[in-house]
Amino acid sequence: MKDLEDILKRTIEHLRSVSDSDAVVGKAIVTEDGTAVIPVSKVSYGFVAGGGEYGVSQGSVKGNEYPCAAASGGGITVTPLGFLVCGKEKKFLPVSAAGKEDRLKELLRTAVKALKKDESDE
């Protein structure tokens, strides 16, 4: 059972080292006018570990120690949420809203061009 505890401990330590606070609130970028732009992200992580002991013939077991089989795995996802802008104005600029707005504008431009082209063809 000690082997499984060691594997769990190592997995958690590795995940902790990768997902530090800089992954959530990034380093500030200061512009020429003194405005600080700070990236903000969401960090999600999960892990799984398991193991067990399997039996062998009584003659080859020393004390109560049976052979152990164990494995672990994990994953981390960093999702950008937006930027905190600290200058004359303090505001949060979300990434997703800006992306949707730009896509909508581009879609409308394309639709208007298509309609104008159809009118000129008639």
The residue behind tokens 């499984």 is 4
Q: How high is the pLDDT of residue 116?
A: 76
Q: Is 60 exceeded by the pLDDT of residue 98? A: no
Partners of 68 in the beta sheet?
A: 53
Ordered by start, the domain boundaries in the chain are 2-94
The predicted pLDDT at position 69 comes to 78
User: Could you tell me the pLDDT band of residue 2, with boundaries at 50, 70 and 90?
Assistant: low
Is the pTM higher than 0.75? no
pLDDT tens readout for residues 65-91? 667 777 877 778 888 888 899 988 899
pLDDT at 77: 84
Q: Are 42 and 81 in contact (CB under 8 A)?
A: yes
pLDDT at 57: 61
Output the six-digit token pair for 23: 């992954």
Which residue did the predictor score with more confidence, 44 or 119? 44
- 83 SS3 class: strand
Q: How many contiguous H segments (helices) and E segments (strands) does the chain have?
A: 3, 4
Using one digit for the tens of pLDDT, what is the confidence trace for 8-51?
Answer: 788 778 777 766 667 778 888 888 888 899 999 888 878 787 77
